[in-house]
Chain A
Amino acid sequence: MNTNARTARLVLRARRALACYAVLLVPLALLAVFVYLPVVWAFSKSLFEFEIGGESTFIGLSNYIEFLAADPTTYVGLVNMLIFTGAAVAIRLTVPLIVAKLIVSLQGERWRHVYRVVFLLPVVVSGVAVLLIWSGLIYSQNGLLNEFLRVCGMERWCRTWLGDPSTAMAAVIFIGFPWVGGFEVLIYYAGLSAIPDSVNEAAALEGCTGLRKFLLIDVPMVISQLKLMLVLTIIAGIQGFQNLLIITRGGPGYATFVPGLQMYYNAFSYQRFGYACAIGVILFLLIFGLTVINMKYFKSSEELQAAA
């Protein structure tokens, strides 16, 4: 009797577990084939030299050595990547936060809502369209920027901003100026509006207002949002090349060339898929290392509060 009951319970549990796995079957299978298999391939194929449909030869770590020591474009790309990433971090950690602070300081929920919607509005325009708008409407020979300079009598400053090696990189960084249309404002706004009233009131009582309040109280209170943004921006900076592919293709010359483009060209222009996989793996390791460092050494605001 007792054994029967136990068997029945076991059968029931087994059936329930089977039902759970039946639900999970499709998601797990999709992950196995379309995520884990490519990851394994990225590592394994980076050890080969091959073209699609051609012979593949095992060449050990030669692809990695070529990227790190022989390829003349590697160094240029890495330096550009650092500059782009540094600029993106400096921009995305400051300007949207300031705008969010301005919005939070407004009285009346209606106005706060209006401005949040206004600064969210640009996300409805496809990212590709935004890039093409900047390269076609603003930076081109007869674009708004040059027109504006002509109106101001500064004709000698006119140029094709993305086509001139000395300005291409700055022009790319300035795309989206003043860099406040998007989700960042909302994310910071969420953090700032979550600061408890007691904290704000205490600060006001202590006479801590304005810039001092912003730096000493608001910024530490949104550290977890800043940290999230820092991580996302760095990851995007290391692997991002889609925008550059659309507007400059890395040029003129190598002025806006980055390792992501190097990977793209090696794969889809030169058919060097093994080498491209190796570049992908190296960029992954870079991202992975930085993420680990970030998780280990930067504390979130919850942890800061717990420590205080």
Chain B
Amino acid sequence: MTRRMTQTWLHVALIALAVPTLLPFVFVLNNSVRSSSEMLHGYFGAPRAARAAAVCAWRALTGAPGASTIITDAKESRALSHAAACRWHLRALARNHRDAWRILRPYMLNTFWVVACVAAGVFVLGTAAAFVLSRFPFPGRKVVFYYFISTMMFPSVLMLVPSFLLVKQLGLLNSYSALIIPMVAGGQVFAVFVFKSFFDGLSQDLFDAAKIDGAGLFSLYWHLLLPLSQPVIAVVMIMNILGTWNSFLWPFIVNTDSKYHIVASGLYIMSASESASNPGVLFAAYIITSIPLLALFACATRPFMQGMTSGAFKA
């Protein structure tokens, strides 16, 4: 077999795997712009509003005579100019998204707030603790490090129920703190572990040179350590953001008040209440909740790929 043919077969195989991987999301996207009456006839088919909009646009462009008829929500038919009818159909296309956004907006805002607080907490505590543990010999350093990494052996299944009891005892149920504080406490461990092993690999000469130049503790941290560690920090922060964004069980248990739902628990609640009447809104909700992470990856694919392939993640 020639090398060229092998390459072709590799592409064929990869595309054959990529298509079923992405296909469900294509269906979600397509059905999120279809109305519930269309979906009664199944999940296949192009959205009616898109077809109608295309027809109206074509008529408007070719300057066809007459008017386009639309059916309003109140089942009345109205005659509009072609361009206006096209705009009307395009608005109808986004109706599910508008409805979904109305429900999701508080959840999304909650999630942004929680994700930002957890990420900020993990970043500050993780880098500072790893910096101290990696660069300063002080009595008890080893013990403190083991105190940190020993927590990794406690799985979430062990912690779930007693953590709930603790948060309840502290009177934190139904609050942002119930999410943020435990997530920072747990999330900083992985950060410290990865950061410390990275900081350990940095040359001590740099730090000595900076100290001779009169750099203080904070200056070493801010002007030397952080810039040097950008890729590893990027990876850990992305993993952390992803984890918080996707966390379902803990928010679902501690915050039963819908005021404090984040997207994962919110989507679940939504699916239980909304889907029976209109799956389109639910599909639109899946799309909307994916956009922030899509944006995150669009901005950070390269550093993330570099960090992931640099070998930070192996046993």
Q: Using a CB–CB distance below 8 Å, which chain A residues touch chain B? A: 16-17, 19-21, 23-24, 26-28, 30-31, 33-39, 41-42, 45, 52, 99, 102-103, 105-107, 111, 113, 115-129, 132-134, 136-138, 142-144, 147, 177-178, 180-181, 183, 186-187, 189-191, 193-194, 224-225, 227-228, 231, 235, 238-239, 242, 245-246, 260, 263-264, 267-268, 273, 276-277, 280-281, 283-284, 287-288, 291, 300
A222's nearest neighbour on chain B, judged by CB, is B314
In the assembled complex, how far is the CB of residue B283 from the closest CB belonging to chain A, in whole angstroms? Answer: 8
Q: Hey, which chain B residues are within 8 Å of A242, CB to CB?
A: 248-249
- A37 — which chain B residues lie within 8 A by C-beta? 162, 166
Whether A118 pairs with B290 at a CB distance below 8 angstroms is no
Which B residue sits closest to A182, measured CB to CB? B21
Q: How distant is A265 from chain B, measured CB to nearest CB, in Å?
A: 11
Please list 22 pairs of residues, one from A and one from B, whose beta carbons are closer than 8 Å in the complex, sorted by A's number.
A16-B138, A30-B125, A31-B189, A35-B154, A38-B165, A99-B14, A105-B10, A106-B7, A106-B10, A128-B264, A129-B289, A136-B279, A136-B282, A137-B31, A137-B279, A144-B43, A147-B44, A177-B20, A180-B17, A194-B311, A283-B155, A284-B158
Residue of A nearest to B157 (CB): A239
Say which residue of A33, A183, A228 sits within 8 Å of B185 (CB atoms): A33
Q: Which 5 A-B pairs give the minimum distances between C-beta atoms?
A: A239-B157, A34-B185, A41-B162, A30-B185, A38-B162
The answer to whether B248 touches A116 (Cβ under 8 A) is no
Contact A34–B28 (Cβ < 8 Å)? no
Residue on B nearest A37 in the bound complex, by CB: B166
A44 and chain B: residue at smallest CB distance: B162
A133-B157 in contact given A36-B151, A106-B7, A193-B309 (Cβ < 8 Å) = no
Q: Does B27 contact A (CB under 8 A)?
A: yes
**B125 contact from A27, A102, A119, Cβ within 8 A:** A27
Pick from B166, B294, B314: contact of A41, CB below 8 A: B166
| Stretch among B62-70, B200-208, B267-275 lining the A interface | B267-275
**What residues of A have a CB within 8 angstroms of the CB of B27 in the complex?**
137, 144
Return the CB mask of B274-315 against A: 1 if under 8 Å, else 0. 010001001101100110011011000100010011110111
| Pair B161/A52 contact, Cβ less than 8 Å | no
Contact B248 A246 (CB under 8 A): yes
Instruction: Check A132/B24 contact, CB under 8 A, given A147-B43, A190-B311, A288-B153.
Output: no
Minimum CB–CB distance from B138 to chain A (whole Å) comes to 4
B154 and A126 within 8 A (CB): no
Distance, CA A120 to CA B282, complexed state (A): 23
B42 within 8 A of A: yes
Chain B residues with CB under 8 A of A136: 271, 275, 279, 282
Once the chains are docked, how many angstroms separate the CA of A295 from the CA of B165?
33
B14, B308, B311: which has the most chain A beta carbons within 10 Å? Answer: B14
Q: For residue B163, which residues in chain A have a CB less than 8 angstroms away from its CB?
A: 34, 38
Which residue of chain B has the shortest Cβ distance to A226 in the bound complex? B315
Closest residue of chain A to B16 (Cβ to Cβ) is A178
The answer to whether B155 touches A39 (Cβ under 8 A) is no
B293–A123 CB distance below 8 A: yes
- Of B71-79, B81-89, B128-136, the one touching chain A: B128-136
A246 to B246, CA, bound (A): 13
Given contacts A17-B139, A21-B138, A35-B186, contact A147 B21 (CB under 8 A): no
Q: Which of B133, B144, B296, B309 contacts A190 (CB 8 A)?
A: B309
Residues of B within 8 A of A (CB): 3, 6-7, 10-11, 13-14, 17-18, 20-22, 24-25, 27-28, 31, 42-44, 125-126, 128-129, 131-133, 136, 138-139, 141, 144, 147-148, 151, 153-166, 168, 181-182, 184-186, 188-189, 192, 217, 242, 245-246, 248-249, 253, 263-265, 267-268, 271, 275, 279, 282-283, 285-286, 289-290, 293-294, 296-297, 301, 305, 308-311, 313-315
User: B157 is contacted by which of A193, A238, A246 (Cβ under 8 Å)?
Assistant: A238
Question: Of A17, A26, A106, A126, which one neighbours B289 at CB under 8 angstroms?
Answer: A126
Interface centre among A102, A125, A186, A263 (most CB of B within 10 A): A125
Task: Point out which of B31, B44, B263, B290 has the most chain A C-beta atoms below 10 A from its C-beta.
Answer: B290
| A26-B182 Cα distance, complex, nearest whole Å | 13
Given A27-B125, A35-B185, A35-B186, residue A125 in contact with residue B25 (CB < 8 A): yes
> Across the interface, which residues of B come within 8 angstroms of A245, CB to CB?
249
Q: Are B157 and A28 in contact (CB-based, < 8 A)?
A: no
Let me know if B161 and A276 touch, CB within 8 A.
yes
Report A-chain residues with C-beta under 8 Å of the C-beta of B267. 126, 128-129, 132
Q: Is the CB of A122 within 8 A of B22?
A: yes
Task: Select from chain A the residue with minimum beta-carbon distance to B294.
Answer: A124
Residues on B with beta carbons closer than 8 Å to the beta carbon of A39 = 154, 158-159, 162
Q: How far is the CA of A246 from the CA of B249 in the complex (A)?
A: 10
Q: Which of A38, A228, A245, A263 has the most CB of B within 10 A?
A: A38
In the complex, are the beta carbons of A187 and B308 less than 8 A apart?
yes
The answer to whether B157 and A123 touch across the interface, beta carbons within 8 angstroms, is: no
- With A and B bound together, what is the CA distance between A138 and B28 in angstroms? 10
Q: Which residues of chain A come closer than 8 Å to B286, judged between CB atoms?
A: 125-126, 129, 132-133
Contact of A31 (CB < 8 Å), options: B133, B161, B185: B185
